[in-house]
Amino acid sequence: MRKQTMNRDWIATARTLNEALPYLQRYEGATVVIKFGGNAMGDDAEMASFARDIVLMRQVGVNPVVVHGGGPMINEMLKRLKVQSHFIHGKRVTDAATMEVVEMVLAGTVNKRIVQAINSEGGRAVGLTGKDANLMICDQTDPDLGFVGTPSEIDTTVLTKLAEAEIIPVIAPIGMGRGGETYNINGDTAAGAVAAALKADRLLLLTDVEGVKDASGMVMTDLTSQQILDLTATGVIAGGMIPKTETALHAIDGGVRAVVILDGRAPNACLLELYTEHGAGSIIRKG
């Protein structure tokens, strides 16, 4: 019985690999930017699973670029240090004291944990922030938000060099102002700006929901940029999904071939999206 079960498992695995072949060929040499965040970042098992997916992508010829957030970790550290923090329209107001904690958590603890996870799975990852090699030059988003920035210039030189060396960049969304200021950048915004600058084939926005839902709550698997605008105008897309779809539209306008909003909690979400016929989440294309 055990041998029969094992044979069935092997056959299923072989069939899966066979069906994945066209997609492996399709994405060979492609640049895929992955925004990693949400609850999966706090779970060791899910972090390891994500890292294995990224390493596999690199092994089969994809150039993955990871951009991460870390809001829950920042909140926890601010609470521990008794630093007051508040939000305006969902965006963290970042004064000098808060910015110091944000940089410490994102560029330090969170970034290095992801790098370590990828390296532990056999990959070669390097941690960066937007301040390294002038990767992300920012303008202040809104004076009321303090040290919150919007990327205005992306220098992809260091990312190109790392891709040539088959090294996976892991980017913390911390940018630099023209006067040397340090800015906190929304993780989705940073990922979209990097993806557009690289003219990435895919931007994968890993989140805590299954994708963009219609008025009945069903996930819409295939969308155009015009449909996103229409759904937003009618209020179907609302709340926390709005900034994600706005990021998707900006990325597509900037030259990204397609953006996918998908549930990062699902096992092997990135692999399901890239290497299976049905994909995962909601794909958004120009149109």
pLDDT in tens, 65-118: 999 999 889 989 999 999 887 777 667 789 999 999 999 999 999 999 999 999
Please state, in angstroms and rounded to a whole number, the distance separating the CA atoms of residues 26 and 28.
Answer: 6
Q: Do 264 and 40 form a contact (C-beta atoms < 8 A)?
A: yes
Q: pTM of whole model > 0.95?
A: no
Please state, in angstroms and rounded to a whole number, the distance separating the CA atoms of residues 208 and 190.
Answer: 18
Question: What residue type is 175 in one-letter code?
Answer: G
Question: What residue type is 83 in one-letter code?
Answer: V
CATH architecture, range 29-285: 3-Layer(aba) Sandwich (3.40)
Domain assignments of the chain as residue spans, ordered by start: 29-285
List the single range of 70-74, 89-93, 119-123, 166-170 with lowest mean pLDDT: 89-93
Q: Is 2 helix (H, G, I), strand (E, B) or coil?
A: helix
DSSP for residue 220: P
Helices (H), ranges, the chain: 2-27, 44-59, 71-80, 96-103, 111-120, 157-164, 187-198, 225-233, 241-253, 269-275
Q: Do 168 and 125 form a contact (C-beta atoms < 8 A)?
A: yes
The pLDDT of residue 163 is 96
The pLDDT of residue 114 is 96
Please state, in angstroms and rounded to a whole number, the distance separating the CA atoms of residues 263 and 49.
Answer: 14
